[in-house]
Amino acid sequence: LAKTTQPISMDSYEGQEVNITCSHNNIATNDYITWYQQFPSQGPRFIIQGYKTKVTNEVASLFIPADRKSSTLSLPRVSLSDTAVYYCLVGDGYNQGGKLIFGQGTELSVKP
């Protein structure tokens, strides 16, 4: 399973765009990149998933360069409610079911 590296923490202010980068140098051909968000005392919840280039949904955008060795989660115009821990996971969407290893995640703190 590809190991991921992300910053331990980040600070931002309301209304700013936040970009969290995840490194995954050993990503395999069949691996997808998935981001989760976790609020205190809650289970993680899915934000966005991608394989290459750019993916956008109502919550975030995910940028993946051509070599796929990193990815960037972009949160537009953050608010206080975006304060959470964000996890980047890399894994095969088919053969590694259930065996997904979470790293430390990035603790995002949004200030007024």
Which residues contact another protein by CB under 8 A? Answer: 32, 34, 36, 41-46, 49, 85, 87, 91-105
Least distance (Å) between residue 15 CB and another protein: 28
The answer to whether residues 20 and 84 touch, using CB atoms and an 8 Å cutoff, is: no
Smallest distance from another protein to CB 92, Å: 8
Side-chain-side CA neighbours of 111 within 13 Å: the count stands at: 3
* Residue 16: CB minimum distance to another protein, A: 25
Q: Which is nearer to another protein, 80 or 101 (CB)?
A: 101
- How are the residues of the chain apportioned to helix, strand and coil, as percentages rounded to the nearest 5? 5, 50, 50
> By C-beta, is 74 or 107 nearer to another protein?
107
Which phi and psi angles does 83 have, rounded to 5°? -65, 115
